[in-house]
Chains A and B, each alone.
Chain A
Amino acid sequence: MGLSSKTSEKIAFSLLTLATLTVASFVLVILVYIILNGYGAISIEFLTEMPRRMMTQGGIYPAIVGTMYLIIGSMVAALPIGVIAAIYLNEYAGENRTTWLVEMAINNLAGTPSVVFGLFGLALFVKYFGFGPSILSASLTLALLILPVIIRSTKEALLTVPNEYRESSLALGVSKWQTIRYVVLPAAIPGIVTGSILSIGRVAGETAPILFTGAAYFLPRLPDSIYSQFMALPYHLFVLATAGTNIAKTRPIQYGTALVLLLIVLGLNLIAVLIRRHYRNKLKI
């Protein structure tokens, strides 16, 4: 209480700086550690070949391809539904009980542990719809997982579009839907893209939702349809690190896999930043 406001501001500022530095240094440490341990494993063969000898040798090509398929599959399913749901909630739904319930449901969905999604996907897509353990089942399960993220970020993006744009478009005799389509959505694209890419990061990294819905322990060939099983990077890593035939011997491959996964996610985030900047520049001055 005896502190002058200047002193307390200094203390607060130092604490905040310290917290930021701590977070940043953790990220850096993890990154450096994985790069140092993993880069030796990375080579053209590692990226383009099948695993061999019970995964103690060879590459991780099918796991990379599998993860890519999951990203594409889950985005194709979740992006349109999520964006449409957000448009409905933000632009059309009134503030009533039903809307409130839907928003509650979405928030709870966002907080649900991912293994629950995995079990749900097993029950619904694998068993009930009979898609079996497959890219399709796993992609749809992941789509459910990221749906709340996409809905939320799209809603936030729509909220930042000034109401004046809507009003002046409507005042030109343009219908509400056309206004959304040609003015509101384009202005919201940077936010929507950011949300989508963040959720791609989740799709690339999650293990639990694909565990029961189609990820294969070892499958040295590429999937030939959406009904095939597949390998994926995070699960491959999990298998190598916990259940491989020779865990100690495959350490370099494990770190190599982790590094590839990390690079894919970082690369996607970078793309998100670039797309956002591109649209910012195009829309603003």
Chain B
Amino acid sequence: MTEAVQNVSQSQIEVENLNLWYGEKQALKNISMQISKNSVTALIGPSGCGKSTFIRCLNRMNDLIKNCRIEGRVLIEGKDIYGPDVDAVDLRKNVGMVFQKPNPFPMSIYDNIAYGPRIHGANKKDLDGIVEQALRSAAIWEETSDRLKSPALSLSGGQQQRLCIARTLAVKPRIILFDEPTSALDPISTSRIEELIMNLKKDYTIVIVTHNMQQAARISDYTGFFLMGELIEFGQTRQIFHNPQERSTEDYITGRFG
């Protein structure tokens, strides 16, 4: 893992002095971070510290929240995504997101995956291939290939979450954001998704919020520790876990609070 990390020098996402307010309340304080291409970056910290708020800045989901004000810059592949010429809808095709609760649409398995590509104008005759490809990449093809027409909501929770990952992959993003994707799942489903995320790293840049430190340690190359809206420490996962520079990071990792 370390080897791969060292080879990647190019950063895909650069966050510079990001501040965010919900009304009067400041939720993110002067965050700067560089996220490398084809790596997994984990964000940890006690709940309410701003992890979700932060990753929702990377695909501009916070645009939907009234009274939410943002300062600073977020560059993706060198381009400021909050710049005047950037369309948030187009941005989200490149920066996909998987949520905490598995939330397939109330449609068939097939239609869930085909939803994004269809709207983005995929050719009808290519759809079958796109759907299969996405389901395969999300490691759920075996379980679903003979029941593509059945409702997505008939799948188990873990399967639904992999379906949601497949749905995101079908749009062909370059970056995928995960917000506590396994917190609603059992241990077996969780480990399948962890395995999947590590495999996806080959083709995607991944940012994952997790409340589970073992998970961060298992799957990530870099880890950022958030506390009360601040990024306390950011670095290689190995270093953060074995040799944290900040006292509060160490306290959190060793379970002394949080």
Q: Could you list which residues of chain A lie within 8 angstroms of chain B, going by C-beta atoms? A: 94, 162, 164-165, 167-175, 178, 182-183, 186-187, 283-285
Chain B nearest CB: distance from A208 CB in Å?
41
Contact A173 B164 (CB under 8 A): no
CA distance A178 to B171 in the complex (A): 15
Q: Is the CB of B103 within 8 A of A173?
A: no
Distance (whole angstroms) from the CB of B156 to the closest CB of chain A = 12
Residues in B neighbouring A165, C-beta threshold 8 A: 103, 105-106
Q: Is B96's CB within 8 Å of the partner chain A?
A: yes
Asked if B61 and A183 make an inter-chain contact with CB atoms under 8 angstroms apart, the answer reads: no
Interface size on B, residues (CB 8 A): 29
Q: CA A168 – CA B97 in complex, angstroms?
A: 8
B103 touches A164 (CB 8 A): yes
B73 within 8 A of A: no
| Chain B contacts with A in 84-116, Cβ cutoff 8 A | 89-94, 96-97, 99, 101, 103, 105-107, 115-116
- B59 touches which one: A94, A162, A171 (CB < 8 A)? A171
- A173 near B115 (CB under 8 angstroms)? no
Interface centre among B105, B106, B154 (most CB of A within 10 A): B106
A168 close to B164 (CB less than 8 A): yes
How far in angstroms is the closest Cβ of chain A from B233?
28
| Residues of chain A within 8 A of B61, CB atoms compared | 167, 170-171
Q: Which residues of A contact B66 (CB under 8 A)?
A: 94
**CB-contact partner of B168 in A167, A172, A175, A186, under 8 A:** A172
Q: Are A172 and B64 in contact (CB under 8 A)?
A: no
Contacts of A167 in B (CB 8 A): 61, 64, 99, 103
Min CB gap A170→B, angstroms: 7
| In contact, B153 and A171 (Cβ under 8 angstroms) | no
- CB closest chain-A residue, reference B168: A172
Whether B242 sits at the interface, judged by CB under 8 Å, is no
User: Which of A165, A173, A182, A183 neighbours the largest number of chain B CB atoms within 10 Å of its CB?
Assistant: A173
Is B103 within 8 A of A174, CB to CB?
no
Determine which of B91, B92, B103, B151 lies in contact with A162 in the assembled complex, contact meaning CB atoms within 8 Å.
B103
Main secondary structure of the interface of B (DSSP, over half): helix
Closest residue of chain B to A166 (Cβ to Cβ) is B64
User: With the chains together, A283 CA to B153 CA distance in Å?
Assistant: 9
* B153 contacts across to A, CB distance below 8 A: 284-285
Which are the 5 A-B pairs with shortest beta-carbon distances? A173-B93, A283-B106, A173-B92, A164-B103, A171-B97
B105 touches A174 (CB 8 A): no
Hey, which chain A residues are within 8 Å of B105, CB to CB? 165, 168-169, 183
B162 at the interface (CB under 8 A from A): no
Do A174 and B89 form a contact, CB below 8 Å, given A167-B99, A168-B105? yes
Complex Cα distance A94/B64, Å? Answer: 12
B171 near A173: Cβ-Cβ < 8 Å: yes
Residue numbers in A under 8 Å from B115 (CB-CB): 169, 172, 174, 182-183
With both chains docked as a complex, state the minimum distance between the C-beta of B209 and any C-beta of chain A, in angstroms. Answer: 14
By beta carbon, the residue of chain A nearest B92 is: A173
- Complex interface: chain A residues within 8 A of B96 (CB): 171-172
Q: Is the CB of A174 within 8 A of B59?
A: no
CB distance from B43 to the nearest CB of A (A): 17
Tell me, yes or no, whether B37 is within 8 Å of chain A by CB: no
Chain A residues within an 8 Å CB radius of B188: none
Nearest B residue to A178 via CB reads B119
Give the chain A neighbours of B51 by CB distance below 8 A: none
B120 interfacial by beta-carbon distance below 8 Å: yes
Tell me if B167 counts as interface (CB < 8 A to partner A).
yes
Select which of A169, A173, A182, A186 is within 8 A of B120 by beta carbon. A173
